[in-house]
Amino acid sequence: MSNFDIIVLGSGPGGYVAAIRASQLGFKTAIIEKESLGGVCLNWGCIPTKALLKSAQVFEYLLHAADYGLKAEGVDKDFNAVVKRSRNVAEGMSKGVQFLMKKNKIEVINGYGTLKPGKKVSVKSDDGKETEYSANNIIIATGARSRELPSLPQDGKKIIGYREAMSLDKQPKKMLVVGSGAIGIEFAYFYNAMGTDVTVVEFLPNVVPVEDEEVSKQLERSLKKTGIKIMTSSEVTKVDTSGPGVKATVKTSKGEEILEADIVLSAVGIKTNIENIGLENVGIATDRDKILVNDYYQTNIPGYFAIGDVTPGQALAHVASAEGILCVEKLADMHVEPLDYGNIPGCTYCSPEIASVGLTEKQAIEKGYEIKVGKFPFSASGKASASGNKDGFVKVIFDAKYGEWLGCHMIGAGVTDMIAEAVVARKLETTGHEILKSVHPHPTMSEAVMEAVAHAYGEVIHI
């Protein structure tokens, strides 16, 4: 039996990052993966979807070349080539993780891992052979998958999840997207940009319901402008797949409607991969589909840790990576502070993009803060006008008493690259005055942050 200091179960952005940090700190480390290194994020999530979205964006630019004084005739898309490019990007990233494993002398064990008592993991390879490994510490990072609703059972053909959505061999003419979180909205944007007739059904009153209400309403306007149909406060109660396509019964405030589509994409959240990995063998405690951990990701059983989507924090790749690093550094007796889950940025890569951190305006009021709110529209931004991306705004929320930056919410071109300013500033407890007096470059999209802060404090120049 091979023995390690640390075994990591799962190689997604939590698992492989934890393994690399462990190796850097001198731990003899192994990682177990049943499929491809990089997990869902690199192979079927974050990275390949961004490749698809980039193709959609380029296609839109070509179709609107005349808006920039250019001529582009006979513009068309090759859907299969777009999908192939996305898969190639994912494959390249996965190979990059393979390289990092070798570079950091991490043993990669291919197969399905099951936890055993006594800090052991049994790994079953594709040929059915089982091998047992032991470690001083085991980190569970098995991630999550597309959640299924009883009224919307996925068959992988007519009713699909995100994995099938990024590798269809034929572009659907009509698509129904159920759920308007990041996954649903990103695919709605992609397929609509490619020419598919897209309808989005959302159970709650607003699309992207975790976002600030003003951002949600702006996104809905922007999506409708591109031809996407939006149905909020609506629910798919049943589907009929007996015909050539799908007939979905949608319950709305006005009654029931029957919608027809070639394919239904179920994007109603995720289900953690905590079944059949041996949690019950060890006695690891769970609650509501999550593994219970302390501030440093220790489970209730000594020597067993959990990070990423299987734990109660936000199910985001960058959260999993941060948790993995923090977990391992604590094991190495380094001085670490618990992760601040109130300062985690969230990003949605549709067009216009969405990025946010901290409290929404509604949440700040509910918490009893007296607030200052500032908002700067990209329609007043020189850079946005020059680039032809005037949709959206930056919204900032400050505590009126102490100047604490409570929240920042953006919708517009490239805002997923801008949100880090607010994250770092909040980490450093920066006040609105300090942002105002930090000179921002002109012309840039990012100066909208400074302008929004100026608006909050009654000093805005350009609106």
Query: Among this protein's residues, is 462 annotated catalytic?
Result: no
- Single out the catalytic residue among 64, 433, 442, 462: 442
Residue labelled with tokens 């006979």: 74
* 12 marked among binding-site residues: no
Q: How many CA atoms lie within 13 A of 296 on its CB side?
A: 13
Joined together, the tokens standing for residue 74 give 């006979």
Q: Residue 265 has which token pair?
A: 């994409």
Q: Is 400 annotated as a binding residue?
A: no
Beta bridge partners of 135: 4
Nearest 5 degrees, angle CA 103-CA 104-CA 109? 100
Q: Is 181 annotated as a binding residue?
A: yes
Q: Nearest CA to 226 among 196, 206, 254?
A: 196
d(CA 156, CA 167): 11
39 is in an annotated binding site: no
Nearest to 215 by CA among 365, 419, 393: 393
Euclidean distance between CA atoms 246 and 262, whole angstroms = 6
Q: Is 287 annotated as a binding residue?
A: no
**Is there a binding annotation on residue 138?**
no
Alpha helical stretches, state H, 277-418? 279-282, 317-331, 361-366, 382-387
* Rg of the Cα atoms in the chain: 24
Helix (H, G, I), strand (E, B) or coil at 376: strand
227 is in an annotated binding site: no
| Three-class secondary structure of residue 163 per DSSP | helix
Question: 23 a known binding residue?
Answer: no
Confirm or deny that 211 is annotated as ligand binding: no
Tokens standing for residue 253: 């405030």
Residue 277 among known ligand-binding residues? no
Which candidate, 362, 107, 50, places its Cα nearest to that of 216? 362
183 assigned binding-site residue? yes
Binding site as annotated, residues for FAD: 50, 113, 309
Catalytically active residues are 442
Binding site as annotated, residues: 50, 113, 179-186, 202, 269, 309
Binding site as annotated, residues for NAD(+): 179-186, 202, 269
